[in-house]
Amino acid sequence: MSSPDTTLSRRQFLKLTGTAGAAAVLGGGLTAFAPLPAYAAPPEEDGLLYGTCGVCSMGCAYVAHMSNGRIVRLSGNPKDQTAEGKLCVRGYSAIRLLYDPDRLKYPMKRTNPEKGVGVDPGWVRITWDEALDLTASKLKEVRDAYGPQAIMLVARPKDWQKHFAKSIGTPNHIAHNNTCYSTHDVVWRAMVTGKGKTWTVDYEHSQYILAFGWDGMGKSKNHWGRAVNTALANGAKLVVFDPRLSITAAKAHGWIPIKPGTDLAVLLAMIRTIVNEELYDKEFVANYTAGLEQLREAVQEYTPEWAAGISEVPAETIARIAREFAATKPAVIAHHKRDAGGPNYTNSWRTAQCFVILDTLVGSIDRPGGHILDRKHKLPAFDEIFQFPAYPDTIKGPRIDGLDRFSAFKALGKGSFSTLAEGILSQDPYPVKAMVVWKHNLLAFPNPPRMMEAIKTLDFVAVSDILPSEMAQLADVVLPDYTFFEGSGLNPRTYHAMYSQVALRDPLPPLGDVKSFSSVVVNVLKKMGLGEYVPEGMSGRALANAQIATLETTVEAIRGAGGMWGEEEPLEPKTEFGTPSGKIELYSTVLEENGYDPLPRWVEPRAVLNDQYPLHLLIWRKPWERMSQSQNDPILAEFCPENCATMNPELAQKVGVGEGDYVWVESHVNKIKVRVHLTAGIRPDCVAVDHGFGHWSRDLSVAYNMGGNDGDLIPNLTVAEQLEAGCPGMAALMEDVAVKVYKA
């Protein structure tokens, strides 16, 4: 890869040479992909590929228009209930991710043992055989010397990834969930589903949409923006509580700039009003819920006047919204992941618990206009298709992220990013020595500098990525992966699954010398001497074919039907739920059994503002950005090259700064330098930093050195601190931190 001193930034090159020239010269020693043909090139009639967008988890089905073997245009698949013929800005932009000249194009090994910011890894191109041999031999060495638990897989819990960790015998399959939606997941599992959060919300048919920090319209989440707009056109009311005027708030009938971390107080008072005034849906509550009387008793102390004192929202506003929410049908609390019920504050899981209670009280669980439970098509599981011996018992051992100490969260089989660094550094409960990373970046960890210290102590790191990310810069071996365009298989609808429907994924021939992670798994397991976990013919394609066979159809037939399988069906409302009682448990016996309050109660957030750190930190993401993955897109960067500290002019005046000035934002762990953006649409006691920037990988020629990473401000945690915070979802407390701002 490029040496720091000789690389011109791609921005400079674009100016000098125009896009085509830049693509040919850049990539610093790596062969660049040929430039894109002009967008005007007419798509061939027969050159269509069906697929699903993998930029975010909504997974909208696309149609890719091909010309001369390249994708020249993307459109949404009109047959898909999620995409409805459209993609969002990030989906359309993915074409530039696919052909990004900086993409990883072949395996590489590090020759410089030193690791860190500004250190040249001394990459050398190697063959796939060498890369797989090296990975397998290093993992085997660690497994033999220290045991299987000394190997960590940092990856989302997908089939191949789970199989890889379990076949090795390690309990340490770590994912990002406690930074994202673990709080929602645990309460939905406990109170409603028995298996985690639901992802479909029928906004389109709702008449009252109430959001606490949910900014679905400002995420460019394709379906939701359209659905909420349709609801608004049909006369629905939208009300948003957010300390920041989010895009959703800007579209709302009411924006309530609540004090951060206090939504729980408002929600408790809303529950009290609805229960005491008997405004709840009597039929739904009587037939499908358990625990109303205990709930009534538990909320009596939480009057709107009390909540007003905590949240700075007037008591009349709280009572009015409670009454409107209960009286307008259907009504729904919009939520997804990192809203007020996401893992942001010590009390966020209780906020998520109140969301479920309020949605239940108005009868909006699995009813039109409300949260819709799982209609996702169940494809046969991985281990039903492939037969292999039982996994080693060691997978049940204690974990390096401490997940085993959080029974309610552990049951969901996910992971914690907040505790990983201290686990590795303290070697508690044991030393870990090797790490394989799939599709996770260093910048996503709370306190990445600390995580980097931990990674530096490991003997071996292999990273599967598509871009030369910061995590890739810390690797001993880089394993370049397929993008979602190059993968194949089936993708059942999840984010808008009003009925069971499956999208086909046609593979684009891979670009460069890249391999899918499934083939990495197959080869590394075999080379480690774990061939018993790799039955004859096991491959990603074999899995897809076996799954297609269970649909009693063929790829050709699905293609003939426009890339989608499944007929529209009317919604049959569920009358039984996945809890011990089969009812929605307002009093949660599952939370109680796991040692948590079965009913909601007020608890303060952790961070206390003080003279040294007088401001709340808010973090958010822009509609066109995808966490740390979109900043290398030259067109997106052209109109938004770096992130900002968004603040109220009143605060800026106190600090003595104006629009565009650089400031330091500092917490007790670190500081970052970002530009000021002024708006009246934020509380003066808050500073908001948008996520995704602060790249230090010099091989990201557009994104390098632009903006700062909000994550540097967020403390990582020990398991003891995590236990003290008392959250069943092990919330990483992403915004429970106080900061200060001063001129840079």
337 binds ligand SF4 (CB under 6 A): no
Q: Which stretches within 147-280 are classed as H helix?
A: 159-168, 182-188, 222-233, 247-250, 263-276
**Position among 212, 280, 613, 704 found at the interface with ligand MGD (CB under 6 A):** 212
Whole-number minimum distance, CB 488 to ligand MGD, in Å? 13
Residue 624 DSSP label: T
Cα of first residue to Cα of last residue in the chain, in angstroms, is 32
The angle that helices 263-276 and 348-361 make with each other, rounded to 10 degrees, is: 30
The answer to whether 69 and 507 have CB atoms below 8 angstroms apart is no
- Select 189 or 367, whichever has its Cβ closest to ligand MGD: 189
Closest to 162 in 3D by CA, of 412, 474, 468, 420: 412
Whole-number minimum distance, CB 93 to ligand SF4, in Å? 9
Whole-number minimum distance, CB 440 to Mo ion, in Å? 11
**Position among 22, 23, 26, 60 found at the interface with ligand SF4 (CB under 6 A):** 60
Point out which residues pair with 495 in neighbouring strands: none
Whole-number minimum distance, CB 336 to Mo ion, in Å? 9
Q: Which does 467 bind (CB under 5 to 8 A by kind): ligand SF4, Mo ion, ligand MGD, none?
A: ligand MGD
Whole-number minimum distance, CB 595 to ligand MGD, in Å? 25
Residue whose token pair is 């993409």: 103
Whole-number minimum distance, CB 665 to ligand SF4, in Å? 28
Q: How far apart are CA 518 and CA 498, in angstroms?
A: 30
483 binds ligand MGD (CB under 6 A): yes
- Select 56 or 719, whichever has its Cβ closest to ligand MGD: 56
Whole-number minimum distance, CB 713 to ligand SF4, in Å? 26
Number of residues that bind ligand SF4 (CB under 6 A): 13
Q: CB-based burial of residue 570 (10 Å sphere; 0-12 exposed, 13-18 middle, 19+ buried)?
A: exposed
**Position among 27, 28, 107, 243 found at the interface with ligand MGD (CB under 6 A):** 243
**Position among 100, 102, 204, 242 found at the interface with ligand MGD (CB under 6 A):** 242
Closest to 690 in 3D by CA, of 617, 630, 621: 621
Instruction: Please give the sequence-ordered ranges of beta strands (E in DSSP) within 123-207, or none if there are none.
Output: 124-125, 151-154, 173-174, 200-201
Whole-number minimum distance, CB 523 to ligand MGD, in Å? 15
Whole-number minimum distance, CB 489 to ligand SF4, in Å? 16
Q: CB-based burial of residue 396 (10 Å sphere; 0-12 exposed, 13-18 middle, 19+ buried)?
A: exposed
338 binds ligand MGD (CB under 6 A): yes
619 binds ligand MGD (CB under 6 A): yes
Residue 6: CA atoms inside 13 Å, Cβ hemisphere, count? 9
Closest chain position to ligand SF4 (CB):
91
Number of residues that bind ligand MGD (CB under 6 A): 59
Q: Which residues contact 461 (CB under 8 A, 6 or more apart)?
A: 434, 435, 436, 437, 455, 474, 475, 476, 477
Instruction: Report residue 575 CA to chain centroid gap.
Output: 31
**3-state DSSP assignment of residue 238:** strand
Q: CB-based burial of residue 568 (10 Å sphere; 0-12 exposed, 13-18 middle, 19+ buried)?
A: exposed
Q: How far apart are CA 212 and CA 240, in angstroms?
A: 6
Whole-number minimum distance, CB 521 to ligand MGD, in Å? 12
Whole-number minimum distance, CB 556 to Mo ion, in Å? 36
628 binds ligand MGD (CB under 6 A): yes
Closest to 217 in 3D by CA, of 736, 635, 633, 620: 620
Whole-number minimum distance, CB 495 to ligand SF4, in Å? 8
Q: How far apart are CA 662 and CA 367, in angstroms?
A: 49
503 binds ligand SF4 (CB under 6 A): no
The answer to whether 279 and 323 have CB atoms below 8 angstroms apart is yes
Q: How far is CA 507 from CA 54, 99, 487, 545, 728, in A?
A: 13, 15, 5, 13, 40
Whole-number minimum distance, CB 415 to Mo ion, in Å? 13
61 binds ligand SF4 (CB under 6 A): no
Site for ligand MGD in 339-368 (CB under 6 A): 339-340, 342, 344
DSSP per position, 406-448? -HHHHTTT---STTHHHHHHHT-SS---EEEEES--GGGSSSH
- Select 53 or 682, whichever has its Cβ closest to ligand SF4: 53
Question: What sign does the CA torsion over 216, 217, 218, 222 have?
Answer: positive
Site string for ligand SF4, 70-99 (x = CB under 6 A): -----------------xx-xx--------
**Position among 70, 337, 377, 695 found at the interface with ligand MGD (CB under 6 A):** 337
- Mark the segment that binds Mo ion (CB under 5 A) among 77-85, 157-165, 330-338, 718-726: 330-338
- Select 84 or 324, whichever has its Cβ closest to ligand SF4: 84
Closest to 516 in 3D by CA, of 487, 478, 541: 487
**Position among 82, 135, 198, 629 found at the interface with ligand MGD (CB under 6 A):** 629
Q: Which does 222 bind (CB under 5 to 8 A by kind): ligand MGD, Mo ion, ligand SF4, none?
A: ligand SF4
- Mark the segment that binds ligand MGD (CB under 6 A) among 118-126, 176-184, 374-382, 563-571: 176-184
693 binds ligand MGD (CB under 6 A): no
Closest to 399 in 3D by CA, of 152, 680, 189: 152
Site string for Mo ion, 163-202 (x = CB under 5 A): -----------------x----------------------
180 binds ligand MGD (CB under 6 A): yes
Q: How far is CA 732 from CA 183, 682, 723, in A?
A: 10, 24, 11
The answer to whether 646 and 621 have CB atoms below 8 angstroms apart is no
**Position among 55, 265, 435, 644 found at the interface with ligand SF4 (CB under 6 A):** 55
Site for ligand MGD in 55-84 (CB under 6 A): 56
Whole-number minimum distance, CB 186 to Mo ion, in Å? 16
The answer to whether 560 and 159 have CB atoms below 8 angstroms apart is no
- Select 375 or 621, whichever has its Cβ closest to Mo ion: 621
Closest to 81 in 3D by CA, of 488, 503, 378, 484: 503
263 binds ligand MGD (CB under 6 A): yes
| Rg, C-alpha atoms of the chain | 25
DSSP per position, 20-89? HHHHHH-STTSPPPPPPPPTTSPPPTT-EEEEE--SSTT--EEEEEEETTEEEEEEE-TT-TTTTT---H
464 binds ligand MGD (CB under 6 A): yes
269 binds ligand SF4 (CB under 6 A): no
**Position among 27, 28, 59, 707 found at the interface with ligand SF4 (CB under 6 A):** 59
58 binds ligand SF4 (CB under 6 A): yes
148 binds ligand SF4 (CB under 6 A): no
258 binds ligand MGD (CB under 6 A): yes
Q: How far is CA 379 from CA 385, 425, 493, 534, 685, in A?
A: 10, 40, 12, 21, 49
Q: How far apart are CA 258 and CA 492, in angstroms?
A: 38
**Position among 1, 32, 49, 56 found at the interface with ligand SF4 (CB under 6 A):** 56
527 binds ligand SF4 (CB under 6 A): no
Site string for ligand SF4, 220-249 (x = CB under 6 A): xxx---------------------------
Could you list the residues that contact Mo ion (CB under 5 A)? 180, 337
Could you list the residues that contact ligand MGD (CB under 6 A)? 56, 90, 176, 179-180, 212-215, 219-221, 241-244, 246, 258, 260-261, 263, 336-340, 342, 344, 438-441, 443-444, 464-467, 469, 471, 481, 483-484, 618-621, 623, 625-629, 688, 691, 710-711, 714, 735
Could you list the residues that contact ligand SF4 (CB under 6 A)? 53, 55-56, 58-60, 87-88, 90-91, 220-222
